[in-house]
Amino acid sequence: MRTESRTIYIIGAGIAGLTLALALAKFGATVVVLERAPGIHEEGAGLQISANARKILDHLGLSDALNTFAFEPAALDIVPFEAKKPLVSLMLGETIRERFGAPYTVMHRADLAGALYKACRRFANIDIQFGVEQVDVELHTRGASILFQDAAKQNINARPFAVIGADGVHSQIRREVMDGPDARYSGMVAWRTMVDIDPLSDLFSTTNSTLLWGPGFHAVLYPIFAHGKFNVALFTKIKKTQIDRGTVLQNPSLPRGLMRSPHFKAILENAAMGWTYWPLYGVSTNVWHRGPVGLIGDAAHGMVPFQAQGAVMGIEDAAVLASLLMSKPTALEALTEYAALRRPRVRKVQQISAWNGEIYHMSWPLTMGRDLVVWFQGPKAHLKRLAWIYGYDALHAPGRAEANPA
Ligand SMILES: Cc1cc2nc3c(=O)[nH]c(=O)nc-3n(C[C@H](O)[C@H](O)[C@H](O)COP(=O)(O)OP(=O)(O)OC[C@H]3O[C@@H](n4cnc5c(N)ncnc54)[C@H](O)[C@@H]3O)c2cc1C
């Protein structure tokens, strides 16, 4: 493994970019993160972090921080539309820990971003610059150069070992530097809010997460005790024209009959904080790098969040790419191997996420067959069915180098 310092620029300080910065810094790289926003900002609220990503975060030294704000649900209650009780409660908690070697937790995304940022600040070899509005990356035959204006409006020109676009689903690096595709609108939006726990505690478990199915829509709810609230994400269909014209109303455009469900009704009646909506986009591209410029996280593979794996895949990307960037002789070799390792796995996760949407949103009479199968499979079937996701160990992926002591 090479040990001399390599300078790597990361565009975007989201979950993926910050995880990569931390992982690289632990290997001894010099890391510069350029973020457009004026500070760490995470829109929305809840985030589920499954065992495969939690292992990586623990390895990066975040275990104590996560233990202070993350909650570990004992199970996932699945409640079909209009049902009063869960059809099945899929085991999480201790069962996941034992089987996959790390917990499955839920948290406020701002807490995770804050913990990653705080951890990055401890490394003198990480420089995070905020308020960088314009970044130009140019590819040459033998590398890439980067030109940007820092927050003090000074022009900076650099020729790093690699530039990594962690700039989200609408990635400028993907579209402009790699001539990659625009993100595609999925037809659905996520409505997000947080709701007081007390008024809902008769209907919803405070030890479990809840997945509510409906015809053409669904919702996910779980307690985030560090914020004293239930996190709610409600997913509904909305036409692209409405989004483009900015004519989406302030509240979830309610699908017909939604209030027939006691669970949806209770959520809507108690959403005192109001809702924010988030159009869901996906990215499908085989081009994850050009020369020494690569992509991670949503920039490479944005997906609908119906398997709760978008951020998790970004964290895995970071773990795999950091070791390759520090152990391969050139960035091109590192990125080529990274893409070959990651693309098939991530594509499979994208597919299962989209397929979950079909299952969650079924209408009667298809729901009868679906509910029977899910009930018959029982509370443990997911442990086997999803073992390829939760049991994956990115820390021991091929090509991984030994980390320098931090
Ligand atoms: C409702 C909902 C629920 C979800 N739940 C889960 C879940 O439970 N578990 C899970 O794993 N995933 C979940 N996801 C997906 C997850 O939120 C995303 O996959 C993840 O946040 C993507 O992280 P990222 O760092 O790749 O991108 P982003 O979070 O989009 O970060 C990109 C960063 O780059 C910056 N940036 C953009 N352009 C530029 C530029 N040109 N120059 C400089 N900076 C730039 C942005 O300001 C931003 O800070 C959910 C998504 C939604 C919508």
Domain range list for the chain: 7-183+282-396
Per-residue pLDDT tens over the stretch 224-245 = 999 999 999 999 999 888 888 8
> Bridge-partner residues for 222, per DSSP?
231
Q: For residue 151, what pLDDT is reported?
A: 81
pTM value is: 0.96
3-state SS assignment for residue 322: helix
Q: For residue 2, what pLDDT is reported?
A: 41
Q: Residue of the nearest CA to atom 15 in ligand 1?
A: 310
Between 54 and 243, the higher pLDDT residue: 54
From residue 143, alpha-carbon distances to 28, 30, 140, 154, 329 in Å are 21, 17, 5, 23, 13
The confidence band for 398, taking pLDDT boundaries of 50, 70 and 90, is: low
Q: Please give the Cα distance from 244 to 94 (Å, whole number).
A: 45
Q: Residue of the nearest CA to atom 30 in ligand 1?
A: 168
Whole-number Å distance, alpha carbon 299 to ligand 1 midpoint, is 9
Three-state secondary structure of 248-282: CCCCCCCCCCHHHCHHHHHHHHHCCCCCEEEEEEE
Of ligand 1's listed atoms, the one at least distance from the Cα of 173 is 41
Interval 151-175 mean pLDDT: 96
3-state SS assignment for residue 244: helix
Ligand 1 proximity of 311 Cβ (cutoff 6 Å): yes
From residue 369, alpha-carbon distances to 78, 214, 376 in Å are 15, 15, 11
Ligand 1 proximity of 297 Cβ (cutoff 6 Å): yes
* Cα separation of the two ends of the chain: 17
The confidence band for 139, taking pLDDT boundaries of 50, 70 and 90, is: very high
Ligand 1 proximity of 73 Cβ (cutoff 6 Å): no
Q: Please give the Cα distance from 45 to 232 (Å, whole number).
A: 8
CA gyration radius, the chain: 21
User: In the predicted model, is pLDDT for residue 17 greater than 70?
Assistant: yes
Q: Is residue 243 within 8 Å of 189, Cβ to Cβ?
A: yes
Task: State both tokens at 399.
Answer: 């090509």
Between 268 and 18, the higher pLDDT residue: 18
Place of tokens 């159009």: 279
Which residue type is seen at 210? T
Fold designation for 7-183+282-396: FAD/NAD(P)-binding domain (3.50.50)
Ligand 1 proximity of 279 Cβ (cutoff 6 Å): no
